[in-house]
A and B are shown apart, each in its own frame.
Chain A
């Protein structure tokens, strides 16, 4: 299994541009998440999904959108990029609640800079 994969690894955007961060998992996990990690700070939840067609906001959703058309894919869309969105973005997945481990599996991250 490849686990959780993310593309691209790095990206530089200009203010006002838009882009989509891709995330895919091959573990048949129902739950998927997007986090951002700012320097010296804990991870913050942006959006999450409990299954195909179902998404919900996390702690810091403003400026982002998500969709979940399949179990495997959970893209994160940035519209009108702003410098405050400069961060490292992590996608994660986990088995359904109640699984013995209930552990999240993280992708390698996407480092985004908005200038």
Chain B
């Protein structure tokens, strides 16, 4: 069964600090992996997307890495801001089809002043 596991479930950090969120998946075959940010009461918004051949991608202060051999991804947030407080969701596509996505349950990040 395709699964996406994220850790930690929740994380609290102080403003300005860095943090790393983890995503392990068992989806096969693998097509691409996305990270979404979901603010409270809003829909998810895409941060990055990586295919099999990509092992790092940045979007401002967000840097995602992918190790397709170990089936692991991480999202690193640099110099956190209060606005980074949100749920971060890892989503894996097993077939390249947007219809067949496996969603992780998310990491709830809280950034405190």
Q: Is the Cβ of A97 less than 8 Å from the Cβ of B96?
A: yes
List the count of A-B residue pairs having beta carbons below 8 Å apart. Answer: 57
Q: Is the Cβ of B99 less than 8 Å from the Cβ of A48?
A: yes
Q: Is the Cβ of A4 less than 8 Å from the Cβ of B43?
A: yes
Q: Is the Cβ of A97 less than 8 Å from the Cβ of B97?
A: yes
**Does any Cβ of B come within 8 Å of A104's Cβ?**
yes
Q: Is the Cβ of B44 less than 8 Å from the Cβ of A42?
A: no
Given A42-B106, A45-B99, A97-B97, A106-B4 contact (CB < 8 Å): no
Residue of A nearest to B104 (CB): A42
Q: Which of B1-33 contact A (CB under 8 A)?
A: 4, 9, 32
**Does any Cβ of B come within 8 Å of A8's Cβ?**
no
Say which size band chain B's interface belongs to.
20 to 34
**Does any Cβ of A come within 8 Å of B89's Cβ?**
yes
Q: Is the Cβ of A106 less than 8 Å from the Cβ of B43?
A: yes
**Does any Cβ of B come within 8 Å of A12's Cβ?**
no
Within 8 Å CB of A48, what residues of B?
A: 99
Within 8 Å CB of B49, what residues of A?
A: 101-103
Q: Is the Cβ of B99 less than 8 Å from the Cβ of A31?
A: yes
**Nearest 6 CB-CB pairings of A with B:** A106-B43, A42-B103, A43-B103, A103-B46, A94-B98, A42-B105
Q: Which residues of A contact B (CB under 8 A)?
A: 4, 31, 33, 40-45, 48, 50, 56, 58, 90, 92, 94, 97, 101-109
What are 26 A-B contacts defined by CB distance under 8 Å? A31-B99, A33-B98, A33-B99, A40-B105, A42-B89, A42-B102, A42-B104, A42-B105, A43-B44, A43-B89, A43-B103, A44-B103, A56-B99, A92-B43, A97-B96, A97-B97, A101-B46, A102-B49, A102-B98, A103-B46, A103-B49, A104-B44, A104-B46, A104-B98, A106-B43, A108-B41
11 more contacts with CB within 8 A, not counting A45-B99, A102-B98, A104-B98, are A42-B105, A43-B89, A44-B103, A45-B101, A48-B99, A56-B99, A90-B43, A97-B96, A102-B32, A102-B49, A107-B43
